[in-house]
């Protein structure tokens, strides 16, 4: 019970101090809006193309929302030494890091629904399989957040966090099958796609919105969950190795 | 309360802490005194779980912290050498947040935060963001955050470094009050006067090694009955010490730095002949200071470190300060 008091307060503090700040809320709305508009205009095929664009825009919103925020907030607190205060608290490291990442997971999940709401206004989403879409978004948010954590633990400056994030984010976007099917990538690039967590998240989003999954759903969910667990475990190991010296 | 045996830590080729042993009793105010880079903060980090020892054991309240550093953290309050609260939260919010990290219920932590803000004279600033506090106020709030959960052991790392004299005095009084209330305190400082005034026992640490652990009164007693004068000689202190030793065999002369030396005698010292001798040998004596029997004298004798140089080092390290 006492640990959960700490968990809840770390999450609430982060939400208030970082995620619910007006610039971040507006960023969470403007960014997916801009992506949606950009792809919509580029497709040139009218409102009918919206469902086809939706998985990509949702994934971008989640990926950028989670990785940017977490990498910056954790690096910022580490640099200001307030993160030491958390490391010195009598709570298990696993719970502490989960509390620090929970805000980003919620923020990323909320970001994903901005394009969904816009699409619901402009298009017919009655064919969407929500039972697949919702867990897929949550898992993408978790894996992206843990990727952000991995980045945050690997750097010491805020600007390094941003640079390092882009090193992962942009290749991932174009190689995960969201905008170009993996099958159309050059032969030598395809193996790279299959080591990216977003490839499996994108496949799930395609399955939920356009029913065009390339892999069995159970495999997508299992692999995505394994990426989440793996990234979290590696980040925890790095925190223990680098921050508890 | 704290038992440390053969504690060792190195960073690459640098041996930060080298096989130290000490005990801190229940309710004791224990001082850890040493210059910059002596290993004070590394020791605190190992005791509190922020650093892993390479070797040795740490037991806190009979809990083996070298194996499981998290196990005793609920007993500890930790005040680091730099204020590390959240600049975007108010003083009150910071205290409540810190209380929550120790599992305190909402009402309990709010009541305790109000009580402490009042006691530490920060009530008027409780609604202001921590980032806007003065250095002294930041330090006081950081100490307050360290005791929000009423810990049985408080680790204070250089609590008065870098703050004004009035705030430093207030903080010393607060430390004394906390200890009088039964809190065991582990205090690191490079201010000898502070350690002498507050601590019951002191360990001198130099280059990662404890060179002496004793009760303050026993350390000071060692210095009593001797007469010490410190000279500022401009240059060549080593050579002048040799000259003084040859001329006055009953005196003990020790160079403290290139330009200062200290002369010790079992009998009252006559300064005139010494000044004349130094000047005859080409020195420019600009100061002759009688050193009263104090912990400072014992520290210099045991460690060979000039106290003023230790303070200058700390100030160079960008922390400034007032003792």
DSSP A85-133: HHHTSSS-HHHHHHHHHHHHHHHHHHHHHHHHHHHHHHS--TT--HHHH
CA separation, residue B14 to residues B46, B48, B56, B203 (Å): 16, 21, 17, 21
> How far apart are the C-alpha atoms of A225 and A141, rounded to whole Å?
11
Residues B25 and B44 grouped into a single domain: yes
Confidence of residue B310 (pLDDT cuts 50, 70, 90): low
Mean pLDDT, rounded, of chain B: 87
Note whether residue B317 is domain-resident: no
What's the structural domain count of chain A?
1
**CATH number of domain containing B280:** 3.30.70.1650
pLDDT tens track for A191-216: 888 889 989 998 999 999 888 888 89
pLDDT at residue B151, as a whole number? 93
B74 touches chain A (CB under 8 A): yes
Domain finish residue from B215, B235, B250: B215
Residues B51 and B146 grouped into a single domain: yes
Burial of A232 (0-12, 13-18, 19+ CB in 10 A): buried
Residues B268 and B205 grouped into a single domain: no
Please provide residue A24's backbone torsions phi and psi, each rounded to the nearest 5 degrees.
-75, -35
Range of the structural domain that residue B14 is part of: 2-87+135-215
Question: A69 CA to chain B: closest CA distance, Å?
Answer: 16
**CATH number of domain containing B25:** 3.40.50.300
Residues B272 and B199 grouped into a single domain: no
Q: B322 with B164: CB under 8 angstroms?
A: yes
Residues B159 and B283 grouped into a single domain: no
* Confidence check: pLDDT of B41 > 60: yes
Note whether residue B115 is domain-resident: no
pLDDT tens track for B233-280: 988 899 999 999 999 988 889 888 888 998 988 888 889 999 999 999
**Considering only CB atoms, which chain B residues are within 8 Å of A86?**
101
SS (H, E, C) chain B: CEEEEEEEEEECCEEEEEEEEEEECCCCEEEEECCCCCCHHHHHHHHHCCCCCCEEEEEECCEECCCCHHHHHHHEEEECCCCCCCCCCEHHHHHHHHHHHCCCCHHHHHHHHHHHHHHCCCHHHCCCEHHHCCHHHHHHHHHHHHHCCCCCEEEEECCCCCCCHHHHHHHHHHHHHHHHCCCEEEEEECCHHHHHHHCCEEEEEECCEEEEEEEHHHHHHHHCCCEEEEEECCCCHHHHHHHHHHHCCCCEEEEEECCEEEEEECCCCCHHHHHHHHHHCCCCCCEEEEECCCHHHHHHHHHCCCHHHHHHHHHHCCCCCCC
Residues B79 and B145 grouped into a single domain: yes
Closest CA to B302 of B107, B66, B112, B38: B38
**Considering only CB atoms, which chain B residues are within 8 Å of A3?**
103
Note whether residue B121 is domain-resident: no
Identify the residue with better confidence: B184 or A154: B184
> How far apart are the C-alpha atoms of B285 and B269, rounded to whole Å?
16
Domain finish residue from B191, B215, B239: B215
Structure tokens at B211: 């060179």
Confidence of residue B83 (pLDDT cuts 50, 70, 90): confident
Q: B117 with B92: CB under 8 angstroms?
A: yes
Confidence of residue A238 (pLDDT cuts 50, 70, 90): confident
Range of the structural domain that residue A72 is part of: 2-242
pLDDT tens track for A120-147: 888 888 888 999 999 999 999 999 999 8
The distance in angstroms from the start CA to the end CA of chain A is 29
Residues B75 and B209 grouped into a single domain: yes
Question: B50 CA to chain A: closest CA distance, Å?
Answer: 5
> How far apart are the C-alpha atoms of A156 and B147, rounded to whole Å?
30
Question: A19 CA to chain B: closest CA distance, Å?
Answer: 13
Closest CA to A215 of A202, A228, A234, A226: A202
Domain finish residue from B187, B215, B243: B215
* Confidence check: pLDDT of B174 > 70: yes
CA atoms within 13 A on the CB side of B288: 18
Residue among A5, A92, A245 whose CB faces B100 most closely = A5
Q: B16 with B42: CB under 8 angstroms?
A: yes
**Considering only CB atoms, which chain A residues are within 8 Å of B45?**
245
What is the average per-residue pLDDT within B110-130? 93
Residues of A with CB under 8 A from a CB of B: 1-3, 5-6, 8-10, 13, 17, 80-82, 84-93, 244-245
- Contact state of A1 with B103 under an 8 Å Cβ cutoff: yes
> How far apart are the C-alpha atoms of B118 and B102, rounded to whole Å?
21
pLDDT at residue B323, as a whole number? 40
Confidence of residue B148 (pLDDT cuts 50, 70, 90): very high
Residues B288 and B190 grouped into a single domain: no
What is the average per-residue pLDDT within B138-146? 92
pLDDT at residue B131, as a whole number? 92
Residues B229 and B81 grouped into a single domain: no
Question: A235 CA to chain B: closest CA distance, Å?
Answer: 17
Name the H helices within chain A: 2-14, 22-43, 50-79, 82-87, 93-122, 130-154, 158-175, 190-193, 197-209, 217-242
Residues B163 and B248 grouped into a single domain: no
pLDDT at residue B185, as a whole number? 95
Note whether residue B308 is domain-resident: no
- Contact state of B100 with A9 under an 8 Å Cβ cutoff: yes
* Confidence check: pLDDT of B322 > 50: no
- Contact state of A5 with B82 under an 8 Å Cβ cutoff: no
* Confidence check: pLDDT of A54 > 70: yes
């Amino acid at each position: 019970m006492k640990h959960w008091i700490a968990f809840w307060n770390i999450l609430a503090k982060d939400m208030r101090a970082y995620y619910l700040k007006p610039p971040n809320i507006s960023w969470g709305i403007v960014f997916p809006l801009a992506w949606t508009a950009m792809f919509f205009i580029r497709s040139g095929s009218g409102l009918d193309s919206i469902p086809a664009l939706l998985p990509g825009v949702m994934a971008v919103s989640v990926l950028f929302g989670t990785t940017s925020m977490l990498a910056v907030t954790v690096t910022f607190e580490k640099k200001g030494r307030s993160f030491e205060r958390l490391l010195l608290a009598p709570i298990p490291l696993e719970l502490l890091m989960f509390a620090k990442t929970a805000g980003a997971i919620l923020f990323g999940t909320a970001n994903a629904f901005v394009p969904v709401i816009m699409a619901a206004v402009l298009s017919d989403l009655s064919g969407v399989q929500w039972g697949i879409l919702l867990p897929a978004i949550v898992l993408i948010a978790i894996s992206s957040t843990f990727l952000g954590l991995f980045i945050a633990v690997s750097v010491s400056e805020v600007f390094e966090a941003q640079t390092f994030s882009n090193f992962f984010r942009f290749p991932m976007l174009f190689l995960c099958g969201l905008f170009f099917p993996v099958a159309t990538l050059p032969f030598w690039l395809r193996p790279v796609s299959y080591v990216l967590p977003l490839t499996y998240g994108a496949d799930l989003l395609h399955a939920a919105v356009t029913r065009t999954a390339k892999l069995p759903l159970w495999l997508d969910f299992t692999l995505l969950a394994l990426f989440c667990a793996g990234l979290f475990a590696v980040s925890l190991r790095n925190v223990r190795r680098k921050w508890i010296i | 309360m704290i038992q440390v045996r053969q504690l060792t830590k190195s960073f690459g080729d640098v041996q930060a802490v080298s096989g130290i042993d000490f005990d801190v009793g229940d309710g004791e105010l224990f001082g850890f005194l040493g210059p910059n880079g002596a290993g004070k903060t590394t020791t605190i980090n190992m005791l509190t779980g922020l650093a892993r020892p390479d070797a040795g054991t740490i037991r806190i309240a009979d809990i083996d912290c070298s194996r499981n550093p998290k196990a005793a953290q609920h007993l500890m309050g930790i005040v680091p050498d730099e204020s590390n609260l959240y600049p975007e939260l108010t003083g009150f919010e910071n205290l409540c947040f810190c209380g929550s990290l120790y599992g305190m219920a909402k009402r309990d932590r709010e009541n305790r935060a109000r009580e402490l803000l009042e006691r530490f004279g920060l009530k008027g600033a409780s609604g202001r963001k921590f980032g806007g506090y003065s250095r002294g106020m930041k330090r006081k709030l950081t100490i307050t955050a360290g005791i929000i959960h009423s810990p049985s052991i408080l680790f204070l790392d250089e609590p008065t470094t870098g703050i004004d004299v009035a705030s430093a005095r207030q903080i010393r009084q607060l430390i004394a009050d906390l200890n009088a209330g039964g809190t065991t305190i582990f205090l690191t400082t490079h201010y000898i006067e502070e350690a002498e005034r507050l601590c019951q026992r002191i360990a001198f640490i130099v280059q990662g090694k404890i060179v002496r652990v004793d009760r303050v009164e026993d350390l000071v007693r060692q210095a009593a009955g001797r007469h010490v004068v410190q000279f500022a000689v401009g240059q060549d202190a080593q050579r002048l010490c040799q000259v003084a030793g040859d001329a006055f065999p009953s005196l003990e002369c020790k160079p403290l730095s290139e330009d200062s030396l200290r002369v010790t005698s079992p009998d009252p010292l006559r300064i005139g002949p010494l000044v004349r001798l130094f000047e005859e040998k080409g020195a420019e004596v600009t100061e002759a200071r009688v050193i009263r029997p104090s912990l400072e004298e014992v520290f210099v004798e045991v460690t060979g470190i000039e106290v003023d140089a230790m303070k200058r080092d700390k100030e160079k390290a960008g922390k400034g300060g007032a003792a």
